[in-house]
Amino acid sequence: MSGVSLPVADSRAVRHEALRLLRADPRAVTVIVVLNCAAAALGLAAPWLVGEIVNRVTAGAEVSTVDLLAVAIVAFAVAQMLVTRFARYAAFRFGERSLASLRERFVDDTLALPVSVVERAGVGDLITRGSSDVAQVGGTLRDTVPDLFVSVVQAVFILGAVFALHPLLGLCALAGIPLMWCVTRWYLNRSRAAYLAEGEANSALADAMAATAEGARAVEVFGLQQQRIDAAERAISASYAARMRTLSLRTVFIPGTVFAHSIPVAAILVGGGTAHRAGLVSLGAVIAAGLYLWQLVDPLDHVLFWLEQLQSSGASLARIKGVAEAAADDEPAGAVPVDDRIEVKALRYAYHGAADVLHDLDLTVRPGERLAIVGPSGAGKSTLARLLAGMDTPRTGSITLGGVDVHRLAPGRALLVTQEHHVFVGTLRDNLAMAAPEAPDARLASALDAVGWTRPLPDDLDTELGDPARGDPSLDAAQAQQIALARVLLADPRTVILDETTAMLDPNAARRIERALAAVLEGRTVIAIAHRLHTAYDADRVAVLEHGRLTELGSHDELLAAKGTYAALWGSWHG
Ligand SMILES: Nc1ncnc2c1ncn2[C@@H]1O[C@H](COP(=O)(O)OP(=O)(O)OP(=O)(O)O)[C@@H](O)[C@H]1O
């Protein structure tokens, strides 16, 4: 964790993104709106028909009339059920499609992020945004938005129906709104911060437990039991206090809204009863209005419940959109250089605002040249390699390849090969073809031959790799490195930067890989960070880096003759 978070989008950008998701499929949204309105309208029939039954019975109607109205109630209920079913289905499909599009965009935005931004932010943040935040927004699109919409439509229709029965009854129906408004505002003003604090306290508790479990040996050896118990108790107390805070908010919110629901029913009974006695409304209308109000409880509950969900999804969408903003801040790559000459001018670099680790570096590498960079640990060799590959940008000064800032080069022009090797889950073909998607199998196979690949695999290029849990053959570090080198061959970069490519391998494997490397590097410009000095011996020139400064530059023989740092390093390495 670096502590430098990825950005979070502001509320305007979040609103814009939410509208974009809704506008992406206007046909589906129209179908959902129409079906839900129809379902809500059909739901209004039953209370009105019950009121009609009361009015007709009071007026002395026949049993057959009542039967007919009862059948109509059932018919409307069935019709509402069917329409609701199709409305839900349409909403679910829309939600799933929106979720898929959100995921795809997130992957695109993540891949467009500069490596340095990902490293600074920490992979954990990106994973949380890509998993729980995307799932939260997806759930909201699939369930909350349609349900909220249905509930709002139902509530509006129900209130409209009560007003249609009689404006006086409509006014009684609105009697609970002021209290509900106050309680909800009070709750929403406090709940976001309280739930965020609860989430943080839970994470801290999980971290404290995990640290104790992971460091169990150290706890035992150094007798840290009491210290870990105290740490756990502090985390538990903080989590308990945070939970009590959210619980106390709910103990006001839930009873407050339940009470607010009963006010209009009481108002209808008192106001409606008085109006009926005064001959202003029929008894059936009062009963229908009472039934409507009971029907109103459910959609209002949903609206209040989902409001909170919308708040936390808004926060998740802001975090997802923040990744897109970070990706958009990066300058577009794709510039094509005039040749392969590398020019480093007055280069300075510092990590996250700390002191400079590279100071005023000037260096020219000719096309096709082999340059070795040597120096003590911490001198800045790997930092320079990353800058040369365009993975980070200089604080001041410039690095160009063929006149183009390396940061803006078209992909594949200059490649950094490190000691890290990753086998992607997929077939051997997938692992190779990502460097050259159009390459036929014969070219993939010859790239493998060129890097000295000898391991027979059960299904050749179709062999699945990368997931030992499903029984994929496991590859050792050297074989994984060979796949990485075959990829370099297939990508065919004009410039290759090697950063201690064989450092993690045993001497035999290292020799095999170095032989393979010779094939890969043929005819290219090569800048090699050398920890084994024979790489420097084979190079056209050697650059010595000490404390972030270039202190020596020349051929192996010239530097030996100069009797400086390189000569001393060679002397101690050689014997
Ligand atoms: N991610 C990072 N954040 C902060 N400082 C860093 C980071 N990576 C390297 N440094 C610092 O930058 C300086 C140069 O490190 P760098 O890894 O480039 O040296 P190096 O010559 O490659 O060393 P080695 O041979 O041990 O790999 C060191 O002081 C190191 O502590």
* Site to substitute for ligand 1 among 361, 383, 533, 545, most atoms within 8 A of C-beta: 383
Residue 335, classed as helix, strand or coil, is strand
For atom 16 of ligand 1, which residue has the closest CA? 380
380 Cβ below 6 A of ligand 1: yes
Amino acid at 177: I
How far, in Å, is the centroid of ligand 1 from the Cα of 386? 11
Predicted local distance difference test score (pLDDT) of residue 4 = 52
pLDDT tens digits, one per residue of 220-255? 888 889 999 999 999 999 999 998 998 998 899 888
Distances in Å between the Cα of 343 and the Cα atoms of 165, 361, 426, 539 are 83, 10, 39, 18
11 Cβ below 6 A of ligand 1: no
How far, in Å, is the centroid of ligand 1 from the Cα of 569? 20
Q: What is the mean pLDDT of residues 520-543?
A: 85
Q: Which atom of ligand 1 is nearest to the CA of 548?
A: 14
pLDDT tens digits, one per residue of 363-382? 999 999 999 999 988 899 98
Amino acid at 231: A
Looking at per-residue pLDDT, the higher value among 196 and 60 belongs to: 60
The answer to whether the CB of 21 falls within 8 A of the CB of 98 is yes
Distances in Å between the Cα of 567 and the Cα atoms of 125, 381, 555, 557 are 46, 18, 11, 9
d(CA 437, CA 304): 51
Q: Which atom of ligand 1 is nearest to the CA of 545?
A: 21
How many whole angstroms from its chain centre is CA 530?
37
The answer to whether the CB of 318 falls within 8 A of the CB of 10 is yes
Distances in Å between the Cα of 557 and the Cα atoms of 60, 518, 565, 574 are 119, 22, 13, 14
How far, in Å, is the centroid of ligand 1 from the Cα of 378? 5
User: Quick one: pLDDT band at residue 313, thresholds 50, 70, 90?
Assistant: confident
| pLDDT tops 50 at residue 303 | yes
Q: What is the ipTM of this complex?
A: 0.96
User: Quick one: pLDDT band at residue 74, thresholds 50, 70, 90?
Assistant: very high
| pLDDT tops 70 at residue 172 | yes
For atom 18 of ligand 1, which residue has the closest CA? 380
User: Quick one: pLDDT band at residue 1, thresholds 50, 70, 90?
Assistant: very low
| pLDDT tops 50 at residue 2 | no
d(CA 173, CA 290): 9
How far, in Å, is the centroid of ligand 1 from the Cα of 529? 13
pLDDT tens digits, one per residue of 494-531? 899 988 777 666 777 777 777 777 777 878 899 999 87
pLDDT tens digits, one per residue of 115-130? 777 777 666 667 777 8
Predicted local distance difference test score (pLDDT) of residue 3 = 45
For atom 17 of ligand 1, which residue has the closest CA? 382
Cα dihedral: 388, 4, 188, 142 (round 10): 30
- Name the residue among 191, 189, 154 with its Cα closest to residue 303: 154
For atom 8 of ligand 1, which residue has the closest CA? 383
Q: Which atom of ligand 1 is nearest to the CA of 499?
A: 22
Pairing outcome for strands 342-350 and 356-365: antiparallel
Looking at per-residue pLDDT, the higher value among 551 and 215 belongs to: 551
Report the range of poorest mean pLDDT among 101-110, 160-169, 303-312. 303-312
Amino acid at 325: E
411 Cβ below 6 A of ligand 1: no
* Site to substitute for ligand 1 among 347, 357, 388, 391, most atoms within 8 A of C-beta: 357
383 Cβ below 6 A of ligand 1: yes
376 Cβ below 6 A of ligand 1: no
pTM: 0.64
pLDDT tens digits, one per residue of 192-225? 778 777 877 777 787 788 888 878 888 888 888 9
- What's phi and psi for 215, nearest 5 deg? -100, 25
Predicted local distance difference test score (pLDDT) of residue 544 = 94
| pLDDT tops 80 at residue 7 | no
Report the range of poorest mean pLDDT among 13-27, 54-68, 390-404, 500-514. 500-514
Report the range of poorest mean pLDDT among 73-77, 351-355, 425-429, 491-495. 351-355
The answer to whether the CB of 182 falls within 8 A of the CB of 227 is no
Q: What is the mean pLDDT of residues 78-101?
A: 89
391 Cβ below 6 A of ligand 1: no
How far, in Å, is the centroid of ligand 1 from the Cα of 382? 7
Distances in Å between the Cα of 271 and the Cα atoms of 158, 217, 263, 276, 279 are 18, 73, 11, 9, 12
pLDDT tens digits, one per residue of 562-571? 999 999 988 8
- Mean pLDDT of the chain, nearest integer: 84
The per-residue DSSP string of 134-197 comes to HHHHHHIIIIIHHHHHHHHHHHHHHHHHHHHH-HHHHHHHGGGHHHHHHHHHHHHHHHHHHHHH
How far, in Å, is the centroid of ligand 1 from the Cα of 394? 15
The tokens 């590498």 sit on which residue? 365
Identify which of 113-127, 249-263, 395-409, 553-567 has the greatest average pLDDT.
Answer: 553-567
The per-residue DSSP string of 188-245 comes to HHHHHHHHHHHHHHHHHHHHHHHHHHHTHHHHHHTT-HHHHHHHHHHHHHHHHHHHHH
Number of Cβ within 10 Å of residue 103's Cβ equals 16
Q: Which atom of ligand 1 is nearest to the CA of 383?
A: 18
357 Cβ below 6 A of ligand 1: yes
For atom 26 of ligand 1, which residue has the closest CA? 377
Predicted local distance difference test score (pLDDT) of residue 505 = 67
Q: 28 is written with which tokens?
A: 């589906």
Q: Which atom of ligand 1 is nearest to the CA of 385?
A: 18
User: Quick one: pLDDT band at residue 332, thresholds 50, 70, 90?
Assistant: low
For atom 6 of ligand 1, which residue has the closest CA? 351
The answer to whether the CB of 451 falls within 8 A of the CB of 516 is yes
Report the range of poorest mean pLDDT among 299-303, 435-439, 494-498, 499-503. 499-503
For atom 9 of ligand 1, which residue has the closest CA? 383
